[in-house]
Structures are given as structure tokens and as C-alpha cells.
């Protein structure tokens, strides 16, 4: 039973990687790529698979699909790896509360993120997240 689950998880990961590779090669705007990466995913703290992600895993998967770039695993490390910008553009990452949360900025004050088990993975206003915005970062 455990081996079957492991095989299924490996197959799901491979499908996600293939989809992300396809997105990189076909381009696309930040919002459509973010929504595509978010599709079918649920929020799980520490999750990083084709079906379950936390905020930093979602940001990793997005950046790989959107720009073909690999990011560190945690939101704080991702924030440290980026360059802060004062004029955010779609595709930049937005960080909150000392680097404890990250979302993908898609423009017009909106982002796509993996917030928590009840809010899930999806689009919401940047102002929806409680606390402070640390800034927008480009990669």
C-alpha cells in the first residue's frame, strides 16, 4: 500500500514538472501561470507536491513555471534571494510579516497565494493578509 502511494506521488510530481516545463516554453502572463500552478492544489503546511503546497512551495513552483528559476524553500530565504523593487510588476513576489508569508503579485493589488487550510490556494487582494507588507521582490 505504501509503495503504491509513493508511486502515485512520484507520478503526480512528474506531471507537475512536465506542466511547469511546458509553461516555461510557452510563456504566458504572470496571472495565467499563477492560476495554472494553483489549479487543483490545496494548502498543507510544509506541502510541496502537485496537489498540496504551502506559501513558499507555491512561490517556488510559480517561479519555476514562469521564469524557469529555482528559489529557496522558505519564504524568508526567498525574500533574501530577491531584489526589492518599489514599482511591483506582475510576476514579482510579495512578502509579509517579516518573511513569514509570500504571494505572487499579479497586478492591480491582487496576488495568488497559498494562505492557510481554510482560505486555500487562490487569488485575493494583497491587503487581505493581516499584518505588514515587507515589500515586493523580483528574481
Task: Kindly state the average pLDDT of the residues 15-32.
Answer: 57
Task: Kindly state the average pLDDT of the residues 98-108.
Answer: 98
Pick the CATH number of 2-138 from 3.40.50.300, 3.90.1720.10, 3.40.50.360, 3.10.20.30: 3.90.1720.10
| pLDDT at 135 > cutoff 60 | yes
State the pLDDT at residue 23.
Answer: 40
CA dihedral of 85, 110, 99, 37, whole degrees rounded to 10? -110
| pLDDT at 60 > cutoff 70 | yes
Q: How far apart are alpha carbons 60 and 75 in whole angstroms? A: 9
Task: Kindly state the average pLDDT of the residues 43-62.
Answer: 98
Q: What is the mean pLDDT of the chain?
A: 88
pTM of the shown model: 0.81
Beta bridge mates, 112: 104, 123
pLDDT band at 1 (very low <50, low <70, confident <90, very high): low
State the pLDDT at residue 26.
Answer: 38
- Which residue would you say has higher pLDDT here, 50 or 10? 50
Catalytic residues: 55, 101, 113
49-93-56 Cα angle (round to 5): 30
Helices (H), 27-138: 30-38, 55-67, 75-81
| pLDDT at 59 > cutoff 50 | yes
Task: Kindly state the average pLDDT of the residues 110-120.
Answer: 98
| pLDDT at 20 > cutoff 50 | no
Q: How far apart are alpha carbons 89 and 109 in whole angstroms? A: 10
Name the residue ranges covered by the structural domains of the chain: 2-138
Amino acid at each position: 500500500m505504501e509503495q503504491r502511494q509513493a508511486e502515485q506521488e512520484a507520478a503526480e510530481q512528474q506531471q507537475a514538472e512536465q506542466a511547469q516545463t511546458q509553461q516555461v516554453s510557452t510563456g504566458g502572463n504572470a496571472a495565467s501561470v499563477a492560476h495554472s500552478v494553483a489549479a487543483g492544489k490545496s494548502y498543507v503546511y510544509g506541502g510541496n507536491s502537485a496537489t498540496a503546497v504551502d506559501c513558499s512551495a507555491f512561490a517556488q513552483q510559480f517561479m519555476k513555471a514562469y521564469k524557469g528559476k529555482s528559489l529557496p524553500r522558505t519564504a524568508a530565504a526567498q525574500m533574501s534571494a530577491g531584489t526589492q523593487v518599489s514599482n511591483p510588476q506582475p510576476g514579482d513576489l510579495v512578502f509579509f510579516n517579516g518573511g513569514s508569508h509570500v504571494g505572487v503579485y499579479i497586478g492591480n493589488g491582487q496576488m495568488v497565494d497559498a494562505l492557510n487550510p481554510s482560505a486555500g490556494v487562490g487569488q485575493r487582494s494583497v491587503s487581505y493578509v493581516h499584518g505588514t507588507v515587507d515589500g515586493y521582490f523580483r528574481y
